[in-house]
A and B are shown apart, each in its own frame.
Chain A
Amino acid sequence: MIRRYQNTIFLTLLLALASVFSVADAQNAPEASEEGKRVYEKSCAHCHGTEGRGDGSAAENLLPRPRDFTRGLYKIRSTETGQVPTDQDLFDIITEGMPGTSMPGWDTSLSANERWEVVAYIKTFYDGFKENTAPRQIDLSGKIAYAEQSIETGKALYTELGCVECHGNVGRGDGTSAPTLTDEWGFQTWPANLAQGWTFRGGSETEDIFKRFIGGIAGSPMPAFEGDSFLHFGLTSEESKRLTELENKDEMTEAEDEESAAFYEKMDAAVDIALRITEGETLNAADRQSFNNAMKVVYEKSWHLANYVKSLSPEKRPEPAIGNNALRSQYIGGELPTLGDAAWETLKASYFPLVGQVILEPRQFNPTIDSVNVKSFYNDNEVAFLFTWDDRTHTTASEDEETGKMLEDAVAIQFPVKVPQGPTAPKPYFLWGGRLPVYLWYWKASAPEQVTELTAKGISNAEVQAVQSDLQAEGTYTDGQYNLWVKRALKTDDKKDLQLEPEVFVPIAFSAWDGANGDVEAKRVISSWYTFVLEPVPSSRRFIYPPLVALLSVGALFGLRGFARRRNS
């Protein structure tokens, strides 16, 4: 399927040239100046390189690499496939930065004037900007509102049009092709996790997403609307559905074979018309009509897809589990729920963002795991946790080519051995302890039903505890997501274990490894210390005293009135 996209890139460029949508306003960056060069060299060159080739001194450690400006490929544009961005596009991306990458936003550290100057300057790296024709902009006027119906349509299209191959069944970036993708410059690149809209490079509004479909993400393997195959250019929605159905069959009958061939002929014909437009031919009314119809279908599909993608993420990145959002284990009378129990759905997860471990060698500069979500219940004797995190690949054992080490997905949950008494009391070092030891639960993908207890006094000084408590665990991997369920008694006999008591705030921290991203040993993603508590059962007095107070106040008011009346008479 991917090869098919490549075959059509050329066509796409022509197609884009052919289409007849609105034209950008006049370019508005100033002429390139010394000022632009000064700003660039101070703020951008160490990543993008003095010559704009994306080879600054920081580049080596970064993925995605800082952009090479000499090729004129820009991911985030309001212009059609194959076009350069408008000045406003460049200004906006420099202002906002690119979420999920090291490209920062410059809204506070450079003045608007400086940003315009640097826009003019980076344009000098690519000759394509010198052509005086304004790039054609994507027409947003046909926006289809964000609503149930459109989301459903988008969902069907998502499977039909092959997004699944890269982005996975439910969009977590775990498709079968995901680990194989490279960008224009040959560097590995991962499909976006569509459930984490806050990592979209170009913003997560439906308009933003829509523009990525029509305009493409230049330089990335993510296909744009590319003529005959990607969005089934030239077919109606029904025909497109039918074609997908046929292609998904293991074997086609002769009649079906012919039917599918006919669809391809139809798409070829549509592309042919598009080509004739680029060649400057004036079309007859019928051809013009069929071209316009084909374009309309592609635009509509893209709006539905954008609405569907939008529906996959929360409105914004969840708040980290600090302060009021701290992880609170909820009390339950009876048995604790097991993995898959509906009771888990009743809890709101606490969100723990993770960062690359860049504190000790070997470092992880380009993490692929964003966060871990945690829920917890406890009863009189035990506590159960549900840890959930997204990982695009399920790696149980793969040998690292460079080091020969075995790479594997894993997670570790860290507590102090002794809970510090009071906010100023010493804690163990947040990175697997130091002078004071930490108590760890270590789980790996190759042994999903086992959690090992460790004691660590430093990242390379961890040992498996001689006495393993009776920890129950169950881990699953589905559609790009791990779910790990762990249950332990509140109290154990082992002095090296953390002992839990209701109402006591306990430090908690995480480490996670994505084997496919080269994570192993110290190279991993981590969090600093957070806190968790076995939330006290809310006192039943809350149902007794407040009504009592209210009743008393009613009594008092009546008393007061009686008193006033008696005085009056």
Chain B
Amino acid sequence: MTISETDCLTGYVLHTRKFQETSLLVEFFSRDQGRCALLFKGIRRQQKKQLSSRAELHLFRKLAVQRLSRGELATAKVIESLGDYVPLVGQAAIVGLYVNELIYRLVGRFEAQSALFDAYDRLIRTLRVTPLDLKALRIFELAMLAELGFGIDFRFDASRQTTIKIEGQYDFFPEQGFRWLARPEGSGYSGADLIALGDGIMSDQGAKIVKLVVRQVVHHLLGGRPLKARDLLESPQL
């Protein structure tokens, strides 16, 4: 049997669930086919070869897999793991679980998202080297929303239909964007910080703004249902 290009997927495991006695149901995030469910039959058997394959199905490990059937739930097998495997440890693992939950809940099945996949790939590689690079997380969050069609425009004042002014103070509404505050009273986001973000400059202050704004958008997209991973991100900067 020849392997066609569409049968080979490159991607990451987002989530695994035990299925029957020896199989594993895997939520896979691939570059070319988006999020899909794959069934790895017999991979939990206590044999040397299967143990080795099962270990390869860890989260945050880039893999090439082969689909052996078609349909909503395809059977598959691991071809090989790609690149060095440096596991995410400590805080990076928790950030990774948060990102996986975001993709699992916001990205539909079989929607190819190659740019989003590349952003995810970059983030995972960054977290392996610098586990607390939260600016990388914020950049990923913005890229994810943009790819899903909910990009945030940091330069546009929705209330006055004009550009953000450097001296202004603004509030954010998920369905509209930034709106000028006539009476800021110490609250809101500074126009200078928003313009810097619009220019692609992610300062510490900018990262804090992105965190709050993305949180609002995700909350809106999930219809108010909370992200479970939020409970783990207790550190104020996360």
Please say whether chains A and B are actual partners in one complex: no
Residues of B near any A CB (own CB < 8 A): none
